Amino acid sequence: MSFWTAALGGEIRFIDVKGVRTRYLAIGHGPDLVLLHGRGGHLEAWANIIPLLAPTFRVHAFDLGGHGLTDPLDAHDIEALTRHATDVLCILQLTRYCLAGQSIGGWIATRIALSRPDAIRGLALIEPAGLQSDAASRADPRFIETYQRGGEAFQNPTRDAVRARLKALFQNPEAIDDELLETRWRLYQPERARRVHLAVRQADNSAFLLSAAELVRLRMPVLFIRGEHSHTSLAVVQAAAAACPGARIHTLSGAKQWPQYERASDVQILLTDLFTNRGAI
Amino acid sequence: MTFWTDCLGAEVRYYNAGGWRTRVIEAGTGEPVIMMGGLSGHAESFIRNIVPIAAAGFRAISLDTIGHGFTDKPPNVDYHAPLFVEHLKRFMDAIGAERAHLVGQSLGGWTACRFALDHPARVLSLTSITGAGFLLDDEESQAESKEVHKQVMERTKRASDEPTIDKVRARLEWLMYDKSLVSDELVETRFRIFTLPDSRAVMGKVVADVAGPENRRWLLDERTLASINARTQIIWSDHNPTTSPRVAEKVANLIPGARYHLIANAGHWPMFEQADTVNGLLVEFLQGK
């Protein structure tokens, strides 16, 4: 399998989203499923799972504002990223869809689900951000390490720095293939990638944190997917899941922040079950 | 490094070419440069050329021709030269391209030449890379042409009749001078295409029609070649497994003003095996230098 064969039969387009040139991939047939990648990411973060989902779903993945090959936005806080993602979904004319997000993609997915609850059939949150403040996250040294590696990869995007960044996301470094490394290395080279990343980091997102008072409004089926070795504590995820009326938690061994890549087939089974067997579709 | 990184920034999209759903890989803006591959080929054969040509200021488009790749494969048509010309014309109409540069490899080269003869006003330039379809007057070339058609038919049938990974790999290794370039990714891409339901249903006919005797009436003989009035270049390779460089060089001499380039260390896909060299030649030629 390669990224190319993963996407074979699908489309890769650049679409105009209110003036923001946005890279977008679509593949497969079935109910619509939207995938939102994480901070510093790009749609290739889903490369391993896309071919597993395509037989069951019409899979839509795109680069978030300023990420990957999508143009930068005016601002890169959660509100701006959510607005851009919502605009993409409007332009794609998706009215009812399943939604999965990883890291800040999970945060954005939850924001979308809160603002358009009727559109969302089900919500999968893979290692989601936004459940606690940055200050609380920093209490964990593993978060600090991931955070620093990410900063170094953007500041001076050598192949070694990009590899070190990915290593901080993976439980098994051997799961980092050359194609992922090469792709991310290329995407990190432009000066604008550095600027966006800095803006994403410096954004004050405290107003957009996901509170229990908000999570209680999520009426669709919700699944939290954790990596066993994640830097987000189980207690934080448990508190969030307890707040959602219909939420479950699934923890995957052999994974850290990128279970959708390291444990793609397990995550595919979880998503398919969530979206097809729990009344979402 | 891989197909994905080779064409990072390009689009994969589908057009309605006058009723035929047509897949392309494309990038860039500017004058269209339409690339077409060979019999049983697909848009990925130009995967190393799309982004470099786009970067030089063109709209670079690699096409799955009718009956090929992920493009429609109607069962009730004759896969002869005029059909490929008609598909190209409908595609150009669909993208609103009154004129385009044509770059055709193998069967695609044949189509490009035929298109240039039928629609000269719509061709900005013509490049044939290890192109098919040439028929010179001398006996040696006539015999070579028949032998090439027979070989291509046999080898393609072997890979496409009951496709397996091994058979597809063998057909690709026949194309390539450096067999190590036949990557798992290339084999898987082609295998997946060959095993699509419509490929299984129609490829036998495509191969039989293209390489069969009836299509030979559309071969480009010496008088026809002399009447091509497009700006033309012929790019060949020293290890081409089909038509010999001897024939190609003579073809270039017959087409008024045509350039001829022989690429070293390449088989049937010089644009893939020696991508940098061929990209350099293409860009220089397309820019009118």
DSSP, residue by residue, B268-287? S-HHHHTHHHHHHHHHHHHT
pLDDT, residue A279, reads 56
Dihedral pair phi/psi, residue A252, rounded to 5°: -105, 130
Give A103-149 pLDDT, tens digit per residue: 999 999 999 999 999 999 999 999 999 999 878 888 888 888 888 88
For B24, name the nearest residue in chain A, comparing CA atoms only.
A11
For residue A39, what pLDDT band results from cuts at 50, 70 and 90? very high
Tell which residue, B11, B81, B44, has the closest CA to residue B172: B44
Note whether A13 contacts B10, CB cutoff 8 Å. Answer: no
- Asked if A55 reaches chain B (Cβ–Cβ under 8 Å), the answer is no
pLDDT higher than threshold 90 for residue A64? yes
Bridge partners for A36 per DSSP: A62, A101
pLDDT higher than threshold 70 for residue A280? no
Mutate to test the interface with A, among B1, B5, B46, B193 (most CBs of A within 10 A): B5
Q: β-pairing, B123-129 with B232-237?
A: parallel
For A182, name the nearest residue in chain B, comparing CA atoms only.
B5
For B5, name the nearest residue in chain A, comparing CA atoms only.
A183
Nearest to A4 among B3, B9, B13 (CB): B3
pLDDT, residue B209, reads 96
Note whether B70 contacts A9, CB cutoff 8 Å. Answer: yes
pLDDT, residue A281, reads 53
Please give the distance of CA B217 from its chain centroid, rounded to a whole number: 19
Q: Which residues of chain A does B185 touch, with a Cβ-Cβ cutoff of 8 Å?
A: 2, 4-5
Section A164-189 average pLDDT? 95
Query: C-alpha angle with apex A220: A217 to A221, nearest 5 degrees?
Result: 125
For A2, name the nearest residue in chain B, comparing CA atoms only.
B185
Query: C-alpha angle with apex B226: B225 to B229, nearest 5 degrees?
Result: 90
- Kindly report each contact of residues B86-89 with a partner whose C-beta sits within 8 Å and lies 24 or more positions away, as own/partner: B87/B17, B87/B20, B87/B22, B88/B34, B88/B36, B88/B63, B88/B112, B88/B115, B89/B115, B89/B119, B89/B122
pLDDT higher than threshold 80 for residue A207? yes
Section A81-94 average pLDDT? 98
Section A176-183 average pLDDT? 97
Mutate to test the interface with B, among A1, A2, A183 (most CBs of B within 10 A): A2
Q: Which residues of chain B does A68 touch, with a Cβ-Cβ cutoff of 8 Å?
A: none
Note whether A182 contacts B3, CB cutoff 8 Å. Answer: no
**From the CA of B25, how many Å to the nearest CA of chain A?**
9
pLDDT, residue B85, reads 98
Contact B70, B80 (CB under 8 A): no
- Asked if A12 reaches chain B (Cβ–Cβ under 8 Å), the answer is yes
Task: Show the tokens assigned to A147.
Answer: 């955070």
pLDDT, residue A137, reads 82
CB neighbourhood size of A243 (10 A): 18
Which residues does B96 contact at the CB level (< 8 Å), separation at least 6?
none
- Asked if A16 reaches chain B (Cβ–Cβ under 8 Å), the answer is no
| DSSP code at position A277 | I
**Using CB atoms within 10 A of its CB, is residue B76 exposed (0-12), middle (13-18) or buried (19+)?**
exposed
Helix (H) or strand (E) holding A194: helix A191-202
- Asked if A278 reaches chain B (Cβ–Cβ under 8 Å), the answer is no
- Alpha carbon distance A69, A148 (integer Å): 23
Task: Show the tokens assigned to A254.
Answer: 């052999």
Nearest to A10 among B12, B188, B192 (CB): B12
pLDDT, residue B233, reads 98
Task: Show the tokens assigned to B214.
Answer: 């009836």
Note whether B2 contacts A5, CB cutoff 8 Å. Answer: no
- DSSP-based three-state secondary structure for B21: strand
pLDDT below 70 — which residues of chain B? none
Please give the distance of CA B156 from its chain centroid, rounded to a whole number: 15
Contact A243, A217 (CB under 8 A): no
Which residues does A131 contact at the CB level (< 8 Å), separation at least 6?
A209, A210, A232, A236, A237, A239, A240
- Alpha carbon distance A221, A227 (integer Å): 20
